Amino acid sequence: MERQFLIDDLKLGESWRLFRILGEFVEGIETLHDLGPAVSIFGSARTRPDDPIYQKAVQIAGLLVNNGFSVITGGGGGVMEAANKGAAQAGGPSVGLNIKLPFEQKPNAYADIQVEFNYFFIRKVMFLKYASAYLAMPGGFGTLDEIFEVMTLIQTKRVKPFPIILVGSDYWSGLLTWIKERLRAAGMISPDDLDIIQLIDDPEQVVATIKRFVIV
């Protein structure tokens, strides 16, 4: 028999797992409830320290801390590590919401507030609940997942609008063009749905944009 995954394990006879799920919610909320204004930063776990994207994430996170924000990441390597590193170097709160995975994800050394999750959906709630803005550096499926989910929640008015900023014009412009030329042109989204997203490369402008929306 093939190995089953967590979602398959939630059977009627294993309802005790609901307590584990509840426990993860409680731990996340108790740990983060007094965090203050924060920005959730997403991006690839595979970005190397010598990559300009890594260095820009360090810079942006430091600027955010210097302007009164905490930083929240997925707690792993790459862009996540860079953002936690930048926040730590600036002396600010640095959160890592780590996920237990069979590969790739290990907690980085820079997040001074760590919460570990078994379930992605609980982790995603924490990213959203405590964020005043979302910032996406170049990344893969996980980064896209976070962006599109929060766009959907804002579009459907399940959460209040807040800044969603994509950093890296060369990386993201093709996606935005496709959304405009395919989804919007075909009437699959409303003309103003893309107003949710901003494409900004300059770190100072990123922070200024967030500050215009959020009172720290």
CB atoms closer than 10 angstroms to residue 90: 17
Which residue's entry shows tokens 């992605």? Answer: 120
User: What pLDDT is stored for residue 101 in this prediction?
Assistant: 80
The first and second tokens of residue 72, run together, are 């929240």
Residues 135-164: pLDDT tens digits? Answer: 999 999 999 999 999 999 999 999 999 999
Q: 13-40: per-residue pLDDT in tens?
A: 577 788 999 999 999 999 999 999 999 9
- Give the neighbor-by-neighbor strand order of the sheet with 38-42: 113-117, 94-99, 70-73, 38-42, 133-136, 164-166, 197-199
Q: What separation, in Å, do the N-terminal and C-terminal C-alpha atoms of the chain show?
A: 53
pLDDT tens digit string along 56-66?
999 999 999 99
Choosing among 3.40.50.10860, 3.40.50.450, 1.10.3210.10, 3.40.50.300, the CATH entry for 16-210 is: 3.40.50.450
Return the residue matching tokens 């001074």: 112
Please list, in sequence order, all residues whose beta carbon lies within 8 angstroms of the beta carbon of residue 153, skipping any fewer than 6 positions away. 128, 159
Domains of the chain, residue spans? 16-210
